[in-house]
């Protein structure tokens, strides 16, 4: 930690991470990003980063939604604006 930095202030800032993505946020991000194709993509697209499973298979196996979302973003080469859209919408509501 840099000198002069208040550790309490640093630790109190909530981190925006993909591991904390809720299932509802994942579903909304899929709909916002892929529209009518979201459910088909989750059911049919095999994702190498998930061990060659589909998003639905990975979620059913207990994979966190954030890990699944990250894989979808990576495979589809989606930029940060889309990758973090579910968190931006969440923070805009507060």
The pLDDT tens digits along the chain (94 residues) read: 444 444 444 433 334 455 578 999 999 999 999 999 999 999 999 999 999 999 999 999 999 999 999 999 999 999 988 888 766 655 455 5
3-state secondary structure the chain: CCCCCCHHHHHCCCCCCHHHCCHHHHHHHHHHHHHHHHHHHHHHCEEHHHCCEEHHHHHHCCCCHHHHHHHHHHHCCCCHHHHCHHHHHHHHHC
Predicted structure pTM score: 0.73
């Amino acid at each position: 930690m840099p000198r002069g930095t208040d550790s309490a202030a640093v630790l109190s800032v909530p981190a925006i991470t993909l591991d904390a993505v809720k299932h509802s946020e994942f579903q909304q991000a899929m709909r916002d990003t892929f529209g009518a194709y979201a459910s088909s993509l989750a059911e049919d697209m095999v994702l190498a980063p998930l061990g060659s499973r589909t998003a639905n298979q990975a979620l059913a196996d207990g994979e966190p939604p954030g890990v699944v979302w990250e894989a979808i973003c990576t495979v589809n080469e989606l930029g940060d604006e889309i990758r973090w859209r579910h968190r931006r919408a969440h923070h805009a509501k507060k």
